[in-house]
Amino acid sequence: MSQSVPQERIRIFNRERYPIAEFRASVERSWALGDEGRAQFSYPSRKTDIVNQKVLQYGNYILVESTALPPWVGVIDTPREWSAQKVTVKAYSPEKIFSWRRGPLERVFTNTPAGSLFEYLVNLVNAAQPTALKLGNVWKGGQPRQETFNPNPLSEELRRIQERSLEDYTFRPLVEADGRLTIFADWYLRVGFDYDVLLHQGRHGGNIETVDRIMIEDGDIANDILGYGEGITWVSKPASIIVDPPSIQTYGLRQSSISYDGVTTVNGVSNNLVEEISNTKNPVNRFEINAINVGDTFKYVGIGNSLKLQLQNVGFQNGSIGYQARVRIIGMSYNPENAKNKIKLIVEEV
C-alpha cells in the first residue's frame, strides 16, 4: 500500500477571533487525553508579514488543519525563542486558557454531574473576559458528584473533575461563516470511536513501527481502598471502603487510602472510590508506537479512539509471549519536519 503525506493549513486568529494570517510552516504538535497538548513552529525573522507582534502576540489563537490528521487548536504563549535568523513560537491547547483564570473563594456543588461542573468552568472562563471558547455538546448523565471550587487555577479544577469522574472533554474548532474562530468545549461520557482496525508490524502491509520501549506495564496496584473527605477530626471525616475481590485473588491484598478535598459526604466519597479502583485494580499496559500512514491508517487516528493492536515478542498472553488486544489512544505527537507520514501514538489497553 502507498504512504500518503498530509497537506496542512495554518491560520492565526486574534483575541477577537478574527483571522489575521495564513502561512505554511512545519508545526510540531501533540494531543493528550485530559491534558494539555503543545505545538511549536519556527519561521524566518526576515518575513515580517508573519513575524510581527500583531500576528505572534501572546493570547492569539492558532489553528492547524490537516488532510489526514485531527485539527490542532490552541493559544500562543511564552516562551518565544529567537536565533539569528528565525523565531520559534510556542502554543498550547485550550487548557492553557483555563490556567489564566482562578476559581471563586468557595463554591460548593452537591448532587451535580461532571458535565454540569464542566459547564460551570467554561462559563467562569468567559465571565472574566470573553474567549473563543463556547459550550458545545455537554453530556450530563454521569454520577452526581460533590465538588468544592476555590481560587485555584481553573486548569487544576478541570483536571480534578476529569480524573475523578473518568469522563472526557475535547475542544472542537470551527471557523464560522464570518471567518471568526469558535472553539466548542465538549464533554462526553467517553471521547473517541471504536474501530475494528488492526495496528500491526510487518514488512508487507504493516502500519506501525515499534520504538525502544514498546510496552510498559506500570501503575500502583490497589484493590482495598479507604477514601475519606473533609472534616475537623478523623472521626468526623466522611469515609468509605471499596474492594475488588478478583484483583485480590490475582495479586494479593493491596491496601491504600486517598483523600478527597472538598467532599463532605459519604456518598460523595463512595462515588469517587468506584472510579478510583477501576484505575488501580490492575496494572496499566501502555504502549508507544509509530503509526505509518499506510492506506487509511491516519483516518482512524484520534484522541480517545480505540483500535486493535497486535505485537510479537512483547508481553504475556495466554501462557506465552505475544500481545493482541484493543487499545485506546491517549496521546499523539506529530513532527512533519522529521517524518510527514508517521505519527507517534501512546495507547493504553482498554
Domain boundaries, the chain: 98-188, 194-218+283-349, 224-280
Residue 320 has pLDDT above 90, yes or no: no
Query: Percentage of residues in the chain with pLDDT exceeding 70?
Result: 98
Predicted structure pTM score: 0.87
> Which pLDDT score, from 0 to 100, does residue 4 have?
62
Residue 128 burial class via C-beta count within 10 angstroms: exposed 0-12, middle 13-18, buried 19 and up: exposed
The amino acid occupying position 21 is A
* Reported confidence tier of residue 306, pLDDT bands at 50, 70, 90: very high
Of 22-26, 39-43, 135-139, 346-350, give the lowest mean pLDDT range: 346-350
State the Cα–Cα distance between residues 232 and 252, nearest whole angstrom. Answer: 34
Cell of 339: 517524518
Once rounded to an integer, what is the mean pLDDT over residues 35-52? 97
Mean pLDDT of the chain: 93
For 92-145, how does the pLDDT look when each residue is reduced to its tens digit (9 = 90+)? 999 999 999 999 999 999 999 999 999 999 999 999 999 999 999 999 998 898
Beta bridge partner(s), residue 345: 289, 332
Say how far apart CA 303 and CA 307 lie, in whole Å: 11
**String of DSSP letters for 89-134:** EEEE-THHHHHT-B--S-EEEEEE-HHHHHHHHHHHHHHHS--SEE
Give the CA-trace dihedral at 300, 279, 285, 350, to 10 degrees: -30
Helix (H) or strand (E) holding 314: strand 306-317
Does residue 186 register a pLDDT over 60?
yes
Arithmetic mean of pLDDT, 270-276: 89
What local confidence, expressed as pLDDT, does residue 127 receive?
97
Least Cα distance to 347 among 283, 284, 287 occurs for 287
How are beta strands 284-292 and 342-349 bridged, if at all? antiparallel
If one counts every other C-beta atom within 10 angstroms of the C-beta of residue 162, the result is 19
Please give the pLDDT value at position 350. Answer: 86
What's the average model confidence in pLDDT over 165-193?
97
Q: Is 272 exposed, middle or buried (0-12, 13-18, 19+ CB in 10 A)?
A: buried
The confidence score (pLDDT) of residue 1 equals: 45
Q: Which amino acid is at 281?
A: K
Which SS3 state, helix, strand or coil, does residue 272 take? helix
Say if residue 5's pLDDT is above 80: no
| Phi, psi of 294, rounded to the nearest 5 degrees | -90, 125
Rounded to an integer, the average pLDDT of 266-273 is: 90
Name the most confidently modeled range: 54-68, 197-211, 223-237, 319-333: 54-68
Alpha-carbon distance of 260 to 146, in angstroms, equals: 10
DSSP 8-state secondary structure symbol assigned to residue 280: H
- Which neighbouring-strand residues pair with 147? 109
Q: What is the architecture, at CATH level 2, of domain 98-188?
A: 3-Layer(bab) Sandwich (3.55)
List 29's β-bridge partners, or say none: 39, 334
Question: What percent of the chain is predicted at pLDDT more than 90?
Answer: 74
Q: What is the mean pLDDT of residues 34-56?
A: 97
Q: Which range has the worst mean pLDDT, 229-238, 317-326, 335-344? A: 317-326
pLDDT-derived band at 61 (thresholds 50, 70, 90) equals very high
Burial state string for 196-234 with b = 16 or more CB within 10 A and e = fewer than 16: ebebbbeeeeebbebeeebbeeeeebbbbbebbbbeeee
322 with 237: CB under 8 angstroms?
no
